[in-house]
Amino acid sequence: MATGQLLNLHRVAPEFHLCITGILVMILDPFVGAARKRWLGWLAFAGTLFALVAVHGAYDSRGMAYDNLISTDVFSVFLHVIVIVAAALAILGSIDYLDKEGIQRGEYYALVLFAAAGMGILAGANELVTAFIGLEMSSISSYVLVGFRKRAAASNEASMKYFLLGSFATAFFLYGIAMVYGATGTTYIDKVQAALQAAPGIPALAIIGLGLMFVGLGFKVVIAPFQVYGPDVYEGAPTPVTTLLASAPKAATFALMLRVFYISYGSASEFWFWAICISAVLTMFIGNLAALVQTNVKRMLAYSSIAHAGYILVAFAASTSLGVAAVLFYLGAYVLMKVGAFLVVTHLGQQGETRLDVADYAGLGMKQPVLSVALSLFLLSLLGLPATAGFLGKFFAFEAALDAHSIHGVAIIWLVVIAAINSVIGAYYYLRVIISMYFAEPSKDYVPTAVAPALSVAILVAAAGTLYLGILPGAVYDFAKVAADSLPLH
Amino acid sequence: MVQQPVLLTVITFLPLLSVVALLLLRSDDHVWIRRIALAASLAEFAVSLLLLRGFDSSNAAYQYTEYHHWIGEAIHYHLGVDGISLFLVLLTTFLTPIAILCSWESIHENVKGFFISLLVIETALIGVFVSLDLFLFFVFWELTLIPMYFMIGMWGHERRIYAAVKFILYTMFGSILMLVAILWLYGLTGTFDLLDIQQSLRSGSLPHLTELLLFGAFFLAFAIKVPLFPLHTWLPDAHTEAPTAGSVILAGVMLKLGTYGILRFCVPLFPDAARQMAPLIGVLAIIGIVYGALVATVQTDLKRLVAYTSVSHLGFVVLGIFAFNSTAVQGAIYQMLNHGVSTGALFLGVGMLYDRRHTHDIKQFGGLATPMPVLMSFFLFIALSSLALPPLNGFIGEFMILIGTYLGHHVWASWAASGAVLSAIYLLWAYQRVAFGEVTVEKNRSLPDASTRERIILVTMALAILFMGVASPLFTRRMEASVDNVIQRVNPPENASRPTTIPCMGAPASVKTAEANAAAAIPAGGGQ
């Protein structure tokens, strides 16, 4: 067999496009004058568009790549679209932000692209060490990105915190892989499935391995009890980086979690069902209750993204193919609304990220009506109002969970009820921002600035997507179902 | 059955279309914003009257049905009206132009946003009444919240933010549990379609506990909206703080979402649970009637007083529904309409006083009949309708409810009748303090009487009140078949040979749904 056929490089073309553009940006960087650096951002954006085209190509030629290390199935394609769109929108949001903050540098865009490539690998990995490489690629790039405002103490602190704790978490993940290898003799996700099904019972070592991997992955998707670092990092990071961090890596890591839990440990769902349930309940309550008392919008949105990870876990707990579809749809909806919200915050933060308090948004509805409507849309979607993506996300998640009640019994009904109550708690803090924007007296000292064209395009895309998924979710949900069916569940 | 396949869609979305027109106007062009909003809402009312022309009152089934696939196999765009929802749609389209007219001069800030909110609410409210798919219903149900939230929060009075947040959190808490119940029903029946769910619940009866829980989840959502005692505490705040138009829509139509929901979903879908819970709910309704009336009596704030009358009046409606006989239920529906018109008109009157004096405090008024004879005469007329004086509209509704309730529950009826007496006390006493006697506050001497615009509003409302009082058979005749249909589900006729009428939109469509559901059941059930 020819090496080309073995590697099937066209199936990993999206990652190649991202990496090559990233390298190109790095090479060009020294030759581009300070005034023209922003063009590197546009180059990076073009790279993401090429990668999207390559995703389409990969979709047409699905199958295994790199000697079965990577599985380019519909599931992976679905997540590639999410990750790359999130990266593209984050890049659009960064171009003018970096100018404003005086940190316009080529390596920023390169790191975003490398991170996206890592997430792509994570989403398609069929082998745990490959997944680890993807995880590290995205994590290490993010550590640097979080500290990119190197003159701001908060940014440095966030970066350090993220780096130290993140390293611990990846170590846990790596230990987990080792345990799995010890128990089953393989690190291929599908072969672990076969090995565990063949075994008379689930070996204790395999359970420990799963637990360790859960710690590592749970850290990356910011779910309780591994969520503590999240708000600090999200708050300290430059807002466009937070935009990326709160969206794409979560999607990619959830993808790997789905593969590990649903495929490898699919026959052991009773072992991990309760872990997911408890984590979901904790995540939702911690995220929502902590968000209630925040006055900083960025931090509030950080807690809200923890809460949303909790809702995703509700669908995750279903352990059915419908659950996978619901998680995928939720991730798509979540990424659009969260990216949209953070992009608006990026603009409103102004230079030095000084205007981030809920009170700073007072009277914005009169001063910048279009931007306020957009932010309201994202917040209402995060809240779960019908006719927005967020509602359909919750709807499908709850539906999938309730559908699994024949498997998990009454526990999962309670889980849905708890999730439902949580989404009402959530309503309060999202509405608080809207109250400030529309009901409060405008502050005198704030002079609204025009939204840069790149950023407004990004916000517009996110808003359109949020509405589209809210009103006509059929096509995407069907695609999510096809993606779920493309996984070799047992 | 008359087939006019787009009429309901047009009625539902016409206000939304006019929102687009408003968006194109400059935001400081207040004159044209008002004119276009009014023209659109009047056109909407005219179009909605077309519903009456082709409505077959002998037919219990849904009419003007529209049926299209929307999301996947299970969720449809399914619309239709029957005798229960028909007049609620008309009530909505009738009150919206009135609400627009009454905000003509009292809204100065962000006029465009105000009228947009009002028209979006209209679309959402009509959508709730005509949806025959639980998913679609829920979407519209939630969509009513946000524009009303903005309306209270942006154009309300002093404590508006507190009231707006309380309003939205209360209602959301109820509705989110209803969403869980809707999903659960979907799990049990494989469809979101109301008719199909009714069919499958009819054939295979639910386990008792399941039915009770589902009933509870739906009922909680609706009871908060009604509001039934003890879930009513959001109402006085929301009503008092809302601008006049907001109160009119809130009291006039939005509260009916709750009673409509009970009648449309709770009772026919879960008849056993409804029968079992009826004693408890009846008692709560009576407590609401008496308690609402007593609290209204001691209010010093005129608007708050009117708000508490809603608690009392809606208690009548709930009581009528849970009496489970045709007269009482028809009376309940009729009372929903009456309450919409009468209480809406009361809020309009209070709003007119507020426009002049910027207060709701009864002590600030007194002797107003002297400077404003026309306005106060109409006010009296409206108050009389609200306290159910024959031959005005309120009397018919309350009387039907009391008669119907008396047939089954003598005690309930006698307690409820005391509410009717109390309503005379609080309304007449309030009217006396506001209108009669000497003018106590000097400022009040020079208040202008009703303007032409206000006269148009008041005359329209008074005519509606009178018309509904003397021509009630025109309304009840069209409700009867649909009401009997609901009653039959909860009180199955003893004689088994008697065929039960099945609400059904016609064979071809329902066969189609059945097939679609069978198809949907396979992938839905085949997880893993």
The string of pLDDT tens digits covering residues A267-326 is 888 888 999 999 999 999 999 999 988 999 999 999 999 999 999 999 999 989 999 999
Optimal mutation site among B183, B210, B214, B241, interface A, most CBs of chain A within 10 A: B183
Note the pLDDT tens digit of each residue in A66-122: 888 999 999 999 999 999 999 999 999 999 999 988 889 899 999 999 999 999 999
Q: What is the pLDDT of residue B492?
A: 67
The number of CA neighbours under 13 Å toward the Cβ of B189 is 30
A235-272 pLDDT, tens per residue? 999 999 999 999 999 999 999 999 999 998 888 888 88
CB contact under 8 A, A423 and B176: yes
For residue B67, the model assigns a pLDDT of 87
Burial code of A16-34, b = ≥16 C-beta within 10 A, e = fewer?
Answer: bbbbebbebbbebbeeeee
Query: What is the ipTM metric for this complex?
Result: 0.82
DSSP state letter for B367: -
Q: Is residue B307 over pLDDT 60?
A: yes
* Residues B183, A428: C-beta atoms closer than 8 Å: no
Give the residue carrying structure tokens 């199958």. Answer: A63
Separation between Cα atoms, residue A399 and residue A455, nearest integer Å: 35
Q: Verify whether the Cβ–Cβ distance B143 to A387 is below 8 Å.
A: yes
Highest average pLDDT, of A294-303, A419-428, B173-182, comes from A294-303
pLDDT at B507 over 70: no
pLDDT, residue B204, reads: 61
Rounded to whole angstroms, how far apart are CA atoms A68 and B136?
A: 45
Model confidence at A383: pLDDT above 70: yes
Q: What is the pLDDT of residue B512?
A: 40
* Contact assessment for residue A339 and residue A243, using Cβ atoms and an 8 Å cutoff: yes
Residues 6 or more apart in contact with residue B148 via CB below 8 angstroms: B117, B121, B167, B242, B246, B249, B250, B254
**Which comes out higher in pLDDT, residue A110 or A8?**
A110
pLDDT at B1 over 60: no
* H-type alpha helices, A199-296: 204-221, 229-236, 239-245, 248-258, 269-292
Does A161 score more than 70 pLDDT?
Answer: yes
Q: What are the C-alpha distances in Å from B55 to residues A232, A384, B126, B330?
A: 62, 37, 17, 18
| pLDDT > 70? residue B406 | yes
pLDDT class for B497, splitting at 50, 70, 90? very low
The model's confidence at residue B203, banded by pLDDT at 50, 70 and 90, is low
Average pLDDT on B287-303 reads 90
> Cβ–Cβ of B70/A474 closer than 8 Å?
yes
Which of these ranges, B1-10, B415-424, B517-526, has the smallest mean pLDDT? B517-526
Which amino acid is located at B370 in the chain?
T
Asked if the Cβ–Cβ distance from B160 to A439 is below 8 Å, we say: yes
Contact B132, B78 (CB under 8 A): yes
Interface test with B, best of A364, A417, A424 (most B CBs within 10 A): A424
DSSP letter string over B296-323?
A: HHT-SBHHHHHHHHHHHHHHHHHHHHTT
> What span, in angstroms and rounded, lies between the C-alpha atoms of B241 and A361?
24
Q: Residue-wise over A402-438: b if at least 16 C-beta within 10 A, else e?
A: bbbbebbeeebbebbebbbbbbbbbbbbbbbbbbbbb
In this complex, is the C-beta atom of B72 within 8 Å of any C-beta atom belonging to chain A? yes
| Residue among A292, A290, A287 nearest A312 (CA) | A287
Burial class (CB in 10 A: 0-12, 13-18, 19+), A261: buried
Residue B515 has pLDDT above 60, yes or no: no
pLDDT the model gives residue B3: 52
Write the secondary structure of A129-190 as one string of H (helix), E (strand) and C (coil). Answer: HHHHHHHHHHHHHHHHHHCCCCCCHHHHHHHHHHHHHHHHHHHHHHHHHHHHHHHHCCCEHH
State the pLDDT at residue B506. 34
Residue B499 has pLDDT above 60, yes or no: no
What pLDDT, in 10s, does the model give residues B445-466? Answer: 888 888 888 889 999 999 999 9
C-alpha span between B103 and B243 (Å, rounded): 8
The burial of B507, by beta-carbon neighbours within 10 Å (0-12 exposed, 13-18 middle, 19 or more buried), is given as exposed
Percent of chain B with pLDDT over 90: 20
Q: Is residue A275 within 8 Å of A214, Cβ to Cβ?
A: yes
Find, in chain A, the residue whose alpha carbon is nearest to that of B140: A386
Question: CB–CB of A357/A296 below 8 Å?
Answer: yes
User: Which of A348, A453, A446 is closest to A96 using CA atoms?
Assistant: A453
pLDDT at position A3: 54
Please report the pLDDT score of residue A6 as a whole number.
66
The pLDDT, as a whole number, for residue B91 is: 93
Task: Give residue B521's pLDDT.
Answer: 42
* Smallest CA–CA distance from B156 into chain A, residue: A439
> What one-letter code names the amino acid at A49?
L
| Residues in chain A whose Cβ is within 8 Å of chain B | 266, 318-323, 366, 380, 385-387, 391-392, 395, 398-399, 402-405, 413, 416-417, 420-421, 423-424, 427-428, 431, 435, 438-439, 472-474, 477-478, 481, 489-490
Separation of alpha carbons A339 and A111, rounded Å? 18
Indicate the helix (H) or strand (E) that contains A47: helix A38-60
Secondary structure of residue B384 in the 3-state scheme: helix
Size of interface A-B (CB pairs under 8 A): 93
Share of chain B above pLDDT 70, in %: 92
- Residues in A closer than 8 angstroms to B71, CB to CB, are 392, 472-474, 477
CB pair distance less than 8 Å for B177 and A435: no
**Whole-number Å distance between alpha carbons of A160 and B287:** 62
Q: Is pLDDT of B516 > 50?
A: no
Q: How confident is the model at residue B502 (pLDDT cuts 50, 70, 90)?
A: very low
Mean pLDDT of chain B: 84
Closest in A319, A322, A439 to B161, CB measured: A439
**pLDDT on residue A138:** 94
What single letter denotes the amino acid at residue A67? Answer: D
Q: Which residues from A are below 8 Å from B179, CB to CB?
A: 395, 398, 420
Contacts of A266 in chain B (CB under 8 A): 528
Side chain identity at B172, as an amino acid letter?
Answer: M
Structure tokens at A60: 């047409």
Which of the two residues, B280 and B23, has the higher pLDDT score? B280
- pLDDT value at position B500? 36
Task: State how far Cα A407 lies from the chain centre.
Answer: 28
Per residue in B59-96, pLDDT (tens digit) is 888 888 888 888 777 888 889 898 889 999 999 999 99
Calpha distance B210→B500 (Å, rounded): 25
| Among the listed residues B371, B316, B323, B314, the one whose alpha carbon sits nearest the alpha carbon of residue B490 | B323
Burial zone of B50 (CB within 10 Å; 0-12 exposed, 13-18 middle, 19+ buried): middle
With CB atoms and an 8 Å threshold, state whether A423 touches B165. Answer: no
Query: Does residue B495 surpass a pLDDT of 50?
Result: no
Please report the pLDDT score of residue A490 as a whole number: 67
Q: Residue B503 pLDDT > 50, yes or no?
A: no
Burial class (CB in 10 A: 0-12, 13-18, 19+), B68: exposed
Cα gap B104→B269, rounded to integer Å: 43
Residue among A193, A364, A376, A395 with most chain B CBs within 10 A, to mutate: A395
Q: What are phi and psi of B4, to 5 degrees?
A: -130, 85
Report d(CA B283, CA B411) in Å as an integer. Answer: 10
User: Which one of B140, B149, B527 has the shortest CB-CB distance to A322?
Assistant: B527
Q: Are A125 and A131 contacting, i.e. CB atoms less than 8 angstroms apart? A: yes
Q: Tell me, yes or no, if the pTM score tops 0.90.
A: no
